[in-house]
Amino acid sequence: MTSANYSEQAKNSLQLINAAEKGDFEAVKSLLQKDVNIHAKDREGKCALVAAAYGNHLEVVDLLITAGADVNMKDNTLQSAYLIATSEIPRSESYTELLKKTLKAGADVHSTDSYNGTGLIRAADRGYVEIIRELLKTDIRVNHVNRLGWTALLEAIILGDGGEQHMEVVRLLIEAGADLNLPDKDGISPLAHAKSKKFTSIIRALENYGAK
């Protein structure tokens, strides 16, 4: 490849990332027909698919996945399209669709973020009930412990607000086999955390299932 050809390919790749970030379907479609590296990254380590995922641009995501984009490729902050789908899409948007698309495209559910947290842990702290439901259909590890020493259950309690969404997350995790007595790195149990935050419904649920 000549330097001129390489320069043109690099230019096309950056244009692809920028178009994907903006959700410009036609521009992405046009660039994919040129000599473009679909897995090229910008200075932040974002490939086109990651850029599209951050914006929840679902049509562009479909286009890129069909063209062979890797849903597990991460940026400099260790975010992939799959991990973004578990936590970065606002609740006001259709935030489960991106997850379903990445799972169908071969997302590695055991992939972790910069805190060594799984998608399940990330969704638990935000109270993303439907994300939790989808992830629990896979073989994701319910009792995975992140770098902070927290499981998804602990994260839902420690970072949650104790409201309806987080209560449902706790219920789903309990039914999926979460270890109710697995403490954090300081030896504090999920029940103790719930009691310290006065989360009555969560306390009752944990105690009903034998938490100590």
**Same domain for 16 and 67?**
yes
CATH of the domain at 205: 1.25.40.20
**Same domain for 123 and 102?**
no
DSSP 3-state of 74: strand
Q: How far is the first Cα of the chain from the last one, in angstroms, to the nearest whole number?
A: 65
DSSP state of 80: B
List C-alpha distances in Å: 149 to 84, 170, 172, 182, 192: 22, 18, 21, 10, 15
- pLDDT by residue for the chain (212 residues), tens only, comes to 454 555 777 788 899 999 999 999 999 999 999 879 999 999 999 999 999 999 999 999 999 999 999 999 999 999 999 999 999 987 767 779 999 999 999 999 999 999 999 999 999 999 999 999 999 999 999 999 999 999 999 999 999 999 999 999 999 999 999 999 999 999 999 999 999 999 999 999 999 999 98
Could you tell me how many helices (H) and strands (E) the chain has, helices first? 12, 0
Q: Measure the CA–CA gap between 12 and 127, rounded to whole angstroms.
A: 39
**Same domain for 132 and 81?**
no
**Same domain for 95 and 152?**
no
**Same domain for 89 and 129?**
no
Asked if residue 43 is part of any domain, the answer here is yes
**Same domain for 67 and 149?**
no
Asked if residue 113 is part of any domain, the answer here is no
**Same domain for 25 and 67?**
yes
Domain termination residue (choose one: 73, 108, 143): 108
What is the domain extent for residue 132? Answer: 118-212
**Same domain for 139 and 42?**
no
List C-alpha distances in Å: 108 to 4, 29, 79, 122, 151: 37, 26, 12, 15, 18
**Same domain for 129 and 178?**
yes
Report the domain count for the chain: 2
